[in-house]
Structure 1
Amino acid sequence: MTLDRVVLIFAGCVVLLGITLSLTVHPWWIGLSAFAGLNMIQAGFTGFCPAAMVFKKLGVRPGTAFK
């Protein structure tokens, strides 16, 4: 699995986790989903993604989006 796919899967999980926590624990957890969404937009424009850096250090095989 490439770095690109791992980052997308991780971002999707964070969004779903934020939505689930906002529905079951407290509405302010929706901020987690908002943060993940804003980070995805920022990464799309700049190519900088902190999660990609972490996964790269963990040894995930590079893809084409995050170098």
Structure 2
Amino acid sequence: MTSWQIVRMFAGTFILVSLALGIPGSPLFVSPWWLALTAFVGANLLQSAFTRWCPLEIILRKLGARGGA
């Protein structure tokens, strides 16, 4: 997998988990504060779309993931 694919996989996983933990109707509900993680991930995805700078992608490339197209 390329670094951008891993970033999107992480983002999708974090969003789904935080929604499951933060929405009161969910059987896994813990606290609505988990929705802050959803907002954080979304804000990072939005800023990376404009700036082409993503901290997770930088970390993944240093760990040896190959860059994407």
TM-score, with structure 2 as normaliser: 0.86
Q: Percent identity?
A: 42
Structure 2 residue 22 is the aligned partner of structure 1 residue 17: no
* Secondary structure of 1:35's aligned partner: helix
Q: CA RMSD in A?
A: 0.9
* Secondary structure of 1:62's aligned partner: coil
Larger of the two Rg values belongs to structure: 2
Which 5+ residue runs of structure 1 have no aligned equivalent?
Answer: none
- Counting helix residues as a fraction of each chain, which structure ranks higher? 1
Runs of 4+ in 1 over 4 A off after TM superposition: none
Which 5+ residue runs of structure 2 have no aligned equivalent?
Answer: 24-28
Q: Which has the higher contact order (CA 8 A, sep 6+)?
A: 1
1:34 is aligned to: 39
TM-score, with structure 1 as normaliser: 0.89
